[in-house]
């Protein structure tokens, strides 16, 4: 059998070094990428390619979207929102100054307390009164922020437990409403803390003024607790005694 001879094409190396360079085969050059010119020798800044067509397309799309967004505020696009349609910040936080003022004004007359405005409970007004009490105590040289906050929590839980035990199954008082009523009725104690700054520290006058404000706060809190919740009209005296203990405690805190 005769051996068949196969013709093998020569291998061409792009960078030179072809073993068959002496056979006269022409080498091929590797084409460079478009928009990538050769860097000059010694240049340290690389060349960045820039596509003009894509840049123009992105600019036109940005202008279109920008016009749509800008036209939404002027009523051009349906459903566009503006700053005039936004709610006030206090309303978003659940703070209503008019409602706080109405509830506070309802406590000013201890003989004609209006329970209708206290049907909706909130904690923004009580927090304002608590901070005012802490501020007046601070002006008197007493740093009692933590003590007042702790006594407020304990007092609200105490009155809530007493009312529900007295009302039994008919009671519908919740802790949130109880805390709101106790906080708004703290107004006489806050006024007493402001008045005590100008009253002598010793003497029976200070205790007499404290008794007046404690009676004011007790009467207002008792009437509100009986009016806003069911089951409290059967034992108003016991509820009044619990309220009396609470506001006497805060008055003693102001005195001493």
pLDDT at 107 over 50: yes
Closest CA to 214 of 256, 249, 180, 163: 249
Ranked by mean pLDDT, the top range of 67-81, 107-121, 182-196 is 182-196
| Candidate from 11-15, 19-23, 124-128, 219-223 with smallest mean pLDDT | 19-23
Residue 139 contacts residue 195 (beta carbons within 8 Å): no
Those residues whose C-beta lies under 8 Å from the C-beta of residue 73, and which sit 6 or more positions away, are 80, 81, 82
> Which of 89-98, 103-112, 233-242 has the highest average model confidence (pLDDT)?
233-242
The C-alpha atoms of residue 110 and residue 206 are separated, in whole angstroms, by: 20
Residue with tokens 């519908």: 172
Is residue 47 pLDDT above 80, yes or no? no
For the segment 140-169, the average pLDDT, to the nearest whole number, is: 92
pLDDT-based confidence at 230, cuts 50/70/90? Answer: confident
Distances (CA, A) of 89 to 82, 83, 96, 101: 15, 12, 10, 18
Is the CB of residue 111 less than 8 Å from the CB of residue 119? no
What is the per-residue burial (b if ≥16 Cβ within 10 Å, else e) of 233-246?
eebeeebbebbbeb
- Give the model's pLDDT for residue 36: 53
| 3-class SS of residue 142 | coil
Q: Which residue has the higher pLDDT, 135 or 29?
A: 135
pLDDT class of 70 with cuts at 50, 70, 90: very low
Give the pLDDT confidence score for residue 69 in this predicted structure. 45
Q: pTM to 2 decimals?
A: 0.65
| pLDDT at 71 exceeding the cut of 50 | no
User: Average pLDDT for residues 86-91, to the nearest whole number?
Assistant: 74
- H helical segments located in the chain: 52-73, 89-92, 97-105, 124-139, 145-167, 175-184, 187-195, 204-228, 236-255
Task: Please indicate whether residue 135 or residue 94 has the higher confidence score (pLDDT).
Answer: 135
pLDDT value, residue 65:
47
More confident position, 38 or 247: 247
How large is the average pLDDT for residues 175-196? 95
User: Angle 124-139/187-195 helices, nearest 10 degrees?
Assistant: 20
Q: What is the mean pLDDT of residues 1-26?
A: 57
To the nearest whole percent, how much of the chain has pLDDT over 90?
A: 44
Closest CA to 213 of 200, 194, 198, 232: 194
Of the two residues 78 and 192, the one the predictor is more confident about is 192
């Amino acid at each position: 059998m005769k051996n068949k001879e196969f013709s093998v094409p020569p291998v061409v190396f792009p960078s030179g070094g072809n073993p068959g360079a002496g056979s006269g085969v022409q080498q091929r050059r590797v084409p460079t990428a478009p928009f990538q010119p050769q860097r000059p020798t010694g240049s340290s800044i690389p060349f960045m390619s820039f596509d003009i067509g894509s840049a123009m397309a992105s600019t036109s799309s940005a202008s279109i979207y920008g016009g749509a967004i800008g036209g939404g505020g002027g009523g051009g696009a349906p459903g566009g929102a503006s700053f005039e349609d936004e709610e006030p910040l206090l309303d978003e936080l659940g703070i209503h100054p008019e409602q706080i003022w109405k509830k506070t004004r309802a406590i000013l007359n201890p003989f004609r307390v209006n329970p209708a405005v206290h049907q909706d409970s909130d904690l923004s007004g009580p927090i304002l009164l608590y901070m005012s009490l802490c501020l007046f105590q601070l002006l008197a040289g007493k740093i009692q922020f933590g003590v007042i906050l702790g006594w407020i929590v304990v007092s609200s839980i105490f009155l809530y437990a007493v009312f529900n035990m007295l009302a039994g199954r008919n009671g519908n008082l919740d802790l949130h409403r109880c805390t709101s009523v106790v906080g708004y009725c703290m107004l006489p104690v806050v006024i007493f803390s402001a008045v005590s700054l100008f009253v002598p520290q010793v003497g029976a006058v200070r205790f007499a003024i404290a008794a007046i404000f404690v009676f004011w706060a007790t009467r207002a809190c008792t009437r509100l607790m009986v009016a806003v919740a069911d089951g409290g009209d059967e034992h108003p005296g016991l509820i009044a005694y619990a309220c009396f203990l609470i506001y006497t405690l805060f008055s003693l805190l102001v005195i001493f």
